[in-house]
Amino acid sequence: MKKNLLLIVLLFASIISLQAQSYQKPKLSDSNSWSLIILPDVQNYVKFERNQPILDLMTTWIKVNLDTLNIKMVMCTGDLVEYNERIDPDGTKFDQPSKSQWEAVSRSFSKLDGHVPYLTVTGNHDFSYGNQQKKNSHFNEYFPVDKNFLNQKLLKSAGWNTEGIQTLENAAFEFTSPNNEQYLFLTMEFGPRDDIIEWARKVVDDEKYKKHRVVILTHSYLAADNERIKESKYPVADKNEGEAIWQKLIQPSNNIEFVVSGHIGLPDNFEGHTGFRTDKNNAGKKVHQMAFNAQGMGGGWAGNGGDGWLRILEFLPDGKTVKVKTFSPLFAFSPSTQSLAWEKSDYNEFEFQFGE
């Protein structure tokens, strides 16, 4: 009996050891690369108090790995909260009132304040949709322009929200990469209004950004079938979905080359939470369009919020190649789960190239 018990213990120890040995910490493939981190929709982390530490873990991991991965930018695809303005948690669908959700997500991102620029956008859950169909949000209260001075340093233009206030819901940020490439990042609200599409068009067409590589971050754009979203269930007037954004802003442009979005969430598997396609704009340049969301992983909408998944985009020094990897700091945290920390399906680990 004692021998059997000893064998079981030794076998278990061997399995743990093999898992730990097979795990590889995130690292750059080229020491001269820089990286950008994409956080998917985070609403399911903040709507339950039990899940909030996972988002803290994710932003802490980013902060700890700033030098290791040469992280120069962080982007979040929106749906920062489950509800913009609810005070009646039922304990099943959410157990935190909206104020606590906004405080939690702002607190998690505060770990990055002063360390790295991060861009966030408003998703449909960040507005007061419902019977009133109002497009108001508490976003500006918890993500004001001076929250992170590194964001403020990059800010070049800001549009107006539906209340007529300039906020970071629609904003343009100029960024120079470590390899001296010029980027312009634009954030756009969920279902951007025609006025915002026009504002964005004027910004990207400005002569001073003619040679910049423009990146668009918006919440809803690409679906899981890799088709651009044509319509959604939110009957809000003056709203542009993915296909309309493409036709009105992106395709006619000369310099928009990358679009990042979230929003989509079908079954509890990655195929229902990711999308990618490449088309050419009117200048003949490739436009890579990516959707990444993991909020249904880890038990679905009432689960742990998304298993801690994020994306690491490594921009190689050739100025063209981007390597995409999908990683979970939550699984990487313990030797017993480190073997699960990388999602290696071909739609979660791949590379693409900018250019014509």
Environment class of 141 (CB within 10 Å of its CB; exposed 0-12, middle 13-18, buried 19+): exposed
Residue 305 contacts by C-beta under 8 Å, 6 or more apart in sequence? 42, 44, 45, 46, 48, 51, 54, 55, 295, 298
SS3 14: helix
Output the pLDDT for position 273: 85
pTM of the model: 0.91
Query: So where are the chain's domains?
Result: 2-353
Residue 300, C-beta contacts closer than 8 angstroms, at least 6 positions apart = 268
Residues of the chain with pLDDT under 50: 2, 4-20, 131
Q: What are the beta bridge partners of residue 59?
A: none
Are 71 and 116 spatial neighbours (Cβ–Cβ below 8 Å)?
A: yes
Specify the DSSP class assigned to residue 250. I
CB burial string 168-186: b at 16+ within 10 A, e below? bbbbbbbbebeeebbbbbb
Residue-wise pLDDT for 195-239, tens only, equals 999 999 999 999 999 999 999 999 999 998 899 999 877 767 788
Amino acid at 73: M
Q: State pLDDT tens for residues 160-199.
A: 998 899 999 999 999 999 999 999 999 999 999 999 999 9
Q: Class assignment of domain 2-353? A: alpha beta
Asked if residues 220 and 241 have their Cβ atoms less than 8 Å apart, the reply is yes
First-to-final CA distance of the chain? 69
Q: Which residues lie below 8 Å from residue 244, measured CB to CB, with a gap of 6+?
A: 230
